[in-house]
Chain A
Amino acid sequence: MDVLLDIAEPGESRLPHEEQAGDLKRVVGIDLGTTYSLVASVTQEGTPLCIPDDQGRASLPSVVSYGAGEEILVGDAATERAPSHPADTIASAKRFMGRGVEDMAKEGERTAYALETGEGGMVRIVTGQGAKSPVEVSAEILKSLKRRAEGALGGALFGAVVTVPAYFDDAQRQATKDAGRLAGLDILRLVNEPTAAALAYGLEEGGEGTVAIYDLGGGTFDISILKLSQGVFQVMATGGNSALGGDDFDHALARIFLDEIGVETPSPALIQSANRAARTAKESLTENDSASVEVTLDDGSSFRRTVTLSEFEAAIASLVKATGLPCRRAMKDAKVRPEDLNAVVLVGGSTRVPAVRAFVEALFKQKPLADLDPDQVVALGAAHQADLLSGNRRSDMLLLDVTPLSLGLETMGSLVEKIVPRNSPIPTAMAQEFTTFKDGQTAMAIHVLQGEREMVEQCRSLARFTLRGIPPLVAGAARIRVAFQVDADGLLTVTATEQTTGIEQSVEVKPSYGLSDQEVETMLRDALEHGEEDIRARMLSEARVEADRVLDALEAALSQDGALLDEAETEQVRAAMDHVRTTRSETDPQTINRSVEALDKATQVFAQRRMDAGIKKAMAGHKIEEFE
């Protein structure tokens, strides 16, 4: 990256050590990976470093073992138990995040697990300790990293930045946020993995210019093209495949072994053994021309074989080639050609495979860079972003990201009308107006989708809701505005407003797959044995979140319907709100909860009046699938 210039900022002046130490918030960056996860933090000197476990290992295998009647094991300990507990030991849970059983089938997932459909439609994995959602599994990994970080940093964490593949859709992002909530982590921001990697690179090398980040991890592939200018890391375009990674290389090779072994329906233990052997071979083949493998069969005997580099490359050729389409699409969206790129950076363990490097070099017409450890660079970038967000340091560094997939609505004929095109800078808000299709139509079904294809069934369904009480008018007379708001985490809120009557009525939808609130509550209660301090921290964080939510909702309600209150009443509500704002910074969750309850009491009259006024209002819509 020698084309890049130094971007040390004059405003970045630091306080002396001792002075600063007391004020620094304990924040970390977490790379929640498909095969490995890492946690990193920024030292007082401003260098991001991965935090190792007590045995000096930075990478935690993303594996959780739920043996019947045994304690939950995470990481290497879980990996060790995999051979004896194949069905209870869950690896690569990230591939299941925000997914249903039919998604897994659609994506040709071959797993050793017994799957079932849980509440909310998300897939569950049946273990010796009951059915576990991928969110719970991920939460165990996050908890383990949280404990590690708190041990190393000497106290409770203020918050964390957790990375997600850039190509994760809304369901997968929401599931990741839920995992954080379940682990008692205050997630400051979800950051896209390639963007985090770019930040780490930019800091290391300093820079201006256009770079492509090619990120091939264990289970996901991302391509991002960024423009670096004066400390601003602006994502121009992103693309990828959230079900393509090094795991698939293993599976492709393992399938050859299993075919040769010739067992009709292989047991979970055999599948896992074949996958492990394939992975060992893959790793060995990054440096050698051939590797010998051994798969343990169910009867205890062994299947032995030698795999040559060319055999392996033939097995993965179509997978490697499949990364080309998103790259070409991203270059087109960013309006750059390969020769416009100042650098191409390799991220993710799977970019160690020589065939991948050769493919990238041919595609982008230049030698890719792998100066920073491709396994650690995402966590390091995330740590930096956490440090920036916490305000620990003054810096002009700023990440500007985009939506990876287009967002839209179902219209007549099962077609998708795009509202927010892919690669729109976030946060963003876009709206479109619709009208009624039939005379006297009083309700409208709204179906929110994400994806690039034109047909509804080819896109991911995010949420469905119905706008009721539309005043009966002639077809085409009602005006309904559907607004999409995507926040800085890339999460979506949809609002539909009927505007004909002049009085606005809104329905808000936060797509939430995965876990119902009740499920989260149950899980939190189940987790009560996990220590007093944990619970207190979680309650505090939840109390604050609730306080913010109530204040936000109330501000919005006041700005909309403030006229329903007279001056004295308004003042009372304002005073109660100020009280919540003051107590929010207290460390006792009870104090915060009490002030929120008091606020709730103080606003009952207001709520009643809004409800009375609201009952008289209405809704309608054309183009959008009609609702009877």
Chain B
Amino acid sequence: MASAGTCWSCGEKLPAVEPFCPECGVIQPPHAQENPFEIYGMEPDFDVDLEALEPLFREGQQRFHPDRFATHSATERRYSLEHVTRLNEAIRTLRDPLLRAEALLTLSGRSVGSESGGAAPQDPMFLMESMELREQLEEVDISADDAQDRLDHLGRDVQQRISAEMETISTAWKTERESPSDTNLESIAGAIDRMRYHRRFLEEVDRMEEALFEEMG
């Protein structure tokens, strides 16, 4: 492996962040310390313009995809693989609000205990509502004609609740940037817990929908 700051292939000194050696043009290993936001050249933020991200994703793939290095040396092929794996991992985080929120918490560098320690959220109001939703889901009869409609309805309901949590996270992160405090991060952690809970509910809906598809053949 080349020592930091020099091209592994020709030994030329490299500028700080440079995926290709400006002297010999050979691909360099990715910088391990970059976070998902930096990888796509953006400031860490909860609000991400997913539409604007797509061209960046394609551009990254065009530069680094293993297909572009199929006839190159094993080392170059490995670096290309590492770059693209990283791009794919990062975009997965950026596209997913839950992973994105978790990444922001990690980046804040401060550890906040989530209110429930990863178990179900404790708020009685929330638990009541959740139980009601679950009951409604259990009542759906997948052999009934209205099964798809009822699943869609429940799915949309929970999706709206997720959107509300995203709103909470977005606001808390904005406040955090202006005046950092543990209260902000705790509010984000709480929203993450509830989102996880909603996610699990949506997975249930998915499973029922699968069963419905099976019925349809």
Contact = CB atoms under 8 A, between A and B. Distances in A.
A399 B67 CA distance: 8
A555 B78 contact: yes
B89 A430 contact: yes
A487 B78 contact: no
A203 interface: no
Nearest to A397: B67
Contacts of B61: 232, 398, 400
B214 A427 contact: no
B181 interface: no
Interface stretch (B17-25, B80-88, B108-116, B160-168): B80-88
Interface string B69-83: 011011100100100
A391 B70 CA distance: 8
A296 interface: no
A555 B75 contact: yes
B213 A429 contact: no
A581 interface: yes
A388 interface: yes
Given A230-B58, A424-B92, A322 B217 contact: yes
Given A487-B81, A555-B78, 4 more contacts: A324-B213, A328-B213, A389-B71, A548-B74
Interface in A299-343: 318, 321-322, 324-325, 328-329, 332
A329 B88 contact: no
Contacts of B73: 581
Nearest to A556: B78
Contacts of A25: 71
B67 A189 contact: yes
Contacts of A425: 88, 91-92
Contacts of B1: 555, 558-559, 562
B66 interface: yes
A234 B65 CA distance: 13
Contacts of B74: 548, 551-552
Q: Which of A385, A389, A427 has the most CB of B within 10 A?
A: A427
Interface in A376-402: 385, 388-391, 396, 398-400
B62 interface: yes
Contact of B70 (A189, A400, A487, A555): A189
Given A396-B62, A552-B78, A555-B75, A329 B213 contact: yes
B144 interface: no
A428 interface: yes
Interface string A405-432: 0000000000000000000111111100
A329 B209 CA distance: 9
A10 to B, nearest CB: 14
Contacts of B54: 229
B216 interface: yes
B38 interface: no
B71 A390 contact: yes
Interface of A: 25, 188-189, 229-230, 232, 234, 318, 321-322, 324-325, 328-329, 332, 385, 388-391, 396, 398-400, 424-430, 485, 487-488, 548, 551-552, 555, 558-559, 562, 581
A202 B144 CA distance: 42
B62 A488 contact: no
A318 B88 contact: no
B169 to A, nearest CB: 22
Interface of B: 1, 54, 58, 61-62, 65-68, 70-71, 73-75, 78, 81, 84-85, 88-89, 91-92, 209-210, 213-214, 216-217
A584 to B, nearest CB: 8
A388 B54 CA distance: 23
A427 B78 CA distance: 11
Contact of A391 (B71, B85, B214): B71
A332 B70 CA distance: 33
Nearest to A234: B58
A381 B119 CA distance: 50
Contacts of B89: 428-430
A427 B66 contact: yes
19 contacts: A189-B67, A229-B54, A232-B58, A318-B217, A324-B217, A325-B213, A325-B214, A328-B213, A328-B216, A390-B70, A391-B70, A400-B65, A425-B92, A426-B88, A427-B88, A552-B74, A552-B75, A555-B1, A555-B78
Contact of A424 (B66, B88, B210, B217): B88
Nearest to A230: B58
A332 B67 CA distance: 29
A488 B213 contact: no
A427 B213 contact: no
Contacts of A232: 58, 61-62
A329 B210 contact: yes
Contact of B67 (A398, A428, A430): A398
A551 B61 CA distance: 26
A198 B85 CA distance: 24
Q: Which of A385, A396, A424, A428 has the most CB of B within 10 A?
A: A428
Contacts of A558: 1
A25 B71 CA distance: 11
Listed from nearest, the 8 A-B pairs whose CB atoms lie closest are: A548-B74, A389-B70, A321-B217, A488-B66, A559-B1, A425-B88, A232-B58, A429-B85
A321 B71 CA distance: 43
A426 B209 CA distance: 27
A424 B71 CA distance: 25
A558 B78 CA distance: 15
Contacts of B78: 552, 555
Contacts of B65: 398, 400, 488
Contacts of A551: 74-75
A555 B210 CA distance: 46
B71 to A, nearest CB: 5
B81 A488 contact: yes
Contacts of B67: 189, 385, 388-389, 398-399, 488
Given A398-B62, A555-B78, A427 B84 contact: yes
Nearest to B54: A229
A25 B58 CA distance: 27
A427 B92 contact: no
Contacts of A230: 58
A428 B88 contact: yes
Nearest to B66: A488
A182 B213 CA distance: 41
A8 to B, nearest CB: 16
A30 B173 CA distance: 52
Contacts of A318: 217
B11 to A, nearest CB: 12
A230 B56 CA distance: 12
Contacts of B217: 318, 321-322, 324-325
Contacts of B68: 398
A18 B43 CA distance: 51
Nearest to A549: B74
Q: Which of A189, A321, A388, A400 has the most CB of B within 10 A?
A: A400
Contacts of A548: 74
A485 B85 contact: yes
Contacts of B66: 427, 487-488
B62 A428 contact: no
